[in-house]
Structure 1
Amino acid sequence: MPKGSISYRALRRLLGTIGLSKAWRYLSSYYLWNAFPLSGKSQRLFQVVGVPRSGTTLLSSLLDAHSEIICLSEPFHQWKYDGFVYTEEIYDITGYTVWKKHPALLLRNLVQKSEKRWVGFKEIYYSKSHGHWSNHHFFKRNHLQGVLTIAIIRDPREVWKSLILRHPEKQGKVTARFIESWNDLVQWIFQSNVFYVKYEDLIDDPANTLTKICNYLDLKFEDTMLCAKSRKGRGDLNALKGGGIHTNKSKTEYQNFLSKNEILSIESGCGHFMQFLSYV
């Protein structure tokens, strides 16, 4: 794996050595989400956002398959933890196989140099209860600055099921911050009139759902979008491998994995928006 910039690795190592790892986490997060604010003035920049395990990587990979779209997968998180962003696919634009500067500068570079209509990225949404992970303000600020937003929402019971399959240690008790984060994202979407799609619609009817997104971006749908290409980045590994959409996923699969208490906790905590979205 490539290494991040020397200064980035040196600072992280220094703070860890003197017992300031926690300080590094908060300082690096603040710098990550607040340095070099993004602007939508070019009318070419967009962001894909959703809570973990809600289909953000899949959606971004399908969008990236369009001939007029670049959509990076978690460039901000990758830069924070690896010190670089994979840019092999856009080498002809950047001149680098990995980008070691701040990811916002990468996006600016792409907006300036790419001939494609849209330049975008996807990142995971974390609300204020997630401590140093929290980045909800980043998406909200971008949206207010004119960066186009595409949100994806998934049934929170299915989201929790997917989380515990990946992290079995979480099973048994639905965390308050999970409830808060899902609600916070959906509330922002409705209050700010953010464009969104449902994960279930993307799986059940990908062509129609992607066509709606293309209409929003003032583009024509392309059949190539139904089969994502393999690429590097952070996110769901299966989605990054590429390929078509698995349309045989059950909407009610959570019942086979979650306890009654877990289901009731989610339905009680997220019930208002779940009802509005026809999940209950």
Structure 2
Amino acid sequence: MFIVFGSPRSGTTLLKESLNLHSEIFIPMQTTVISTAAHIAGSTSSWEKASRVIAEAIIASDDYSTVFAPYLTEAEIRGAVNSAAPSLAGVLEAIYGALAGKRGKRLCGDKSPDDLLSIRKLEQVGLLDSRVMFVHIVRDVRGSVASLLNVNWAPPGIEEYFPRIWNYTNLHLYKMLSKKPNYLLVKYEELVTAPATVLARITDLLGVPFQDSMLDASKRGAELRTNPSHRNLGQPFLPDRIDAWRNELSPEVRAHCEYSAREAMQIFGYK
């Protein structure tokens, strides 16, 4: 099982849908499973009780009907959780392992930008010390902010506080995992300029062979293209978007990003 971590508008969906073109990999639609389960596990001292609540929370969530129900029955969700090793990582490996089996895939992963917001809780419940594999995609905060300002779901004023969130969450994850063999840092800018090289690094981490099919934009994310937020999914990788923020951000917003996120920008090589 693996998890794709990344801030909103950092290329998480582009990466997810590229990996989904691999014949041995499946990543379902975005879920809230990991963060929800982490908070339950972190607030319940009895694992027997926590696991029972986690199973029922998954079944009761909107995620179940859209993500899991087409492949796993409620009984199968409960069975996977009950048979799992007593930890959040164990539960995730059991559920996503079962999902991979139903899909006829070797590997199943999860992708949700919301998970990065729960990084401290994920650390507390031991997920970051598990054998789960982690792919961490980072995009220049100025590019992420420029993209957020172009979607209709971002709250007003997000440019004021998002750089600080970007700085803390990405830096926290990196500091926790950077020296571990089951972690890989990917930069959005490298993904769109050298996709074959970056995707090969990811498949190497995941233990599957690289496949050229992951580069086929014509088949990427077909079910998401009607969403205005993902209108470019069917386009070839777009390296020209890397520096688009230079013309889209005001000098004030740009300066605020560079000041508020300066530590992580330096660590990740953004000047």
Q: TM-score, normalised by structure 1?
A: 0.66
Aligned match of 1:264: 255
TM-aligned CA deviation for residue 269 of structure 1:
1.3
1:135-176 superposed Cα distances (whole Å, 9 cap, x missing partner): 324654433232111110000000000001114986777333
Q: Equivalent residues in 2 for 1:13-32 (5 A)? A: none
CA contact (8 A) 1:229 1:243 kept: yes
Q: What is residue 8 of structure 2 aligned with on the other side?
A: 52
Contact kept in structure 1, 2:97 and 2:108, CA below 8 Å: no
Matched, 1:161 2:146: yes
Shift of 1:49: 1.2
Which structure 2 residues correspond to residues 135-150 of structure 1 after superposition, within 5 A? 135-137=118-120, 139-140=122-123, 141-150=126-135
Q: Please tell me whether residue 70 in structure 1 is matched to residue 26 in structure 2.
A: yes
Paired amino acid for 1:214? T
Moved more, 105-114 or 55-64: 105-114
Q: Which whole-Å CA distance do the structure 2 matches of 1:218 and 1:157 have between them? A: 33
1:165–1:80 Cα change, 3 Å = farther
Name the CA shift for 1:65/1:138 in 2 (closer, same or farther; >3 Å).
farther
Cα 1:125/1:139, change in 2 over 3 Å: farther
CA–CA distance in structure 2, aligned partners of residues 213 and 73 of structure 1: 19
Distance 2:104 2:172 in 1: 35
Larger proportion of helix:
2
Unaligned runs of 5+ in 2: 34-57, 82-90
Residue 72 of structure 1: how far off its partner (Å): 1.5
Q: Which amino acid aligns with 1:243?
A: G
Deviations 1:222-242 (A, max 9, x none): 010012444547997564885
Query: Which range is displaced more, 256-265 or 102-111?
Result: 102-111
State whether structure 2 residue 183 is matched by structure 1 residue 201.
Answer: no
Q: How many residues align?
A: 224
Instruction: Provide the alpha-carbon RMSD of the alignment.
Output: 3.6
| 1:200-255, Cα deviation, whole Å (9 max, x unpaired) | 11111111110111111122110100124445479975648853533342322112
Aligned partners of 1:86 and 1:232 also within 8 Å = no
Aligned partner of 1:186 in structure 2 is 171
**What does 1:75-86 correspond to in 2, within 5 Å?**
75-76=31-32, 80=61, 84-86=65-67
Flag the 1:218–1:63 CA change in 2: closer, same or farther, 3 A.
Answer: same
Structure 1 stretches of at least 4 aligned residues deviating more than 6 Å after TM superposition: 99-103, 233-236
> Measured at CA, do residues 109 and 117 of structure 1 come closer, stay the same or move farther in structure 2, by a change above 3 Å?
closer
For the residue of structure 2 that corresponds to 1:265, the secondary structure is helix
Cα distance in 1, alignment partners of residues 4 and 18 from structure 2: 12
Contact 2:2 2:134 in 1 (8 A): yes
- Amino acid in the other structure paired with 2:241: S
Question: 2:258 corresponds to which letter in structure 1?
Answer: E
Q: How has the CA–CA distance of structure 1 residues 95 and 112 changed in structure 2, closer, same or farther, with 3 Å as cutoff? A: closer
Q: Distance in 1 between matches of 2:158 and 2:112?
A: 26
TM-score by length of 2: 0.68
Unaligned runs of 5+ in 1: 1-44, 128-133
Percent of paired sites with the same residue: 24
Distance 1:149 1:67, change over 3 A: same
**Equivalent residues in 2 for 1:47-126, closer than 5 Å:** 47-76=3-32, 80=61, 84-86=65-67, 94=71, 106-111=95-100, 113=102, 115-125=104-114
Contact 2:11-2:188 within 8 A present in 1 as well: yes
1:243 aligned partner: 234
- The equivalent residue for 1:255 is 246
Contact 2:22 2:214 in 1 (8 A): yes
> Matches of 2:8 and 2:226 in 1, distance apart?
9
Contact 1:75-1:121 within 8 A present in 2 as well: yes
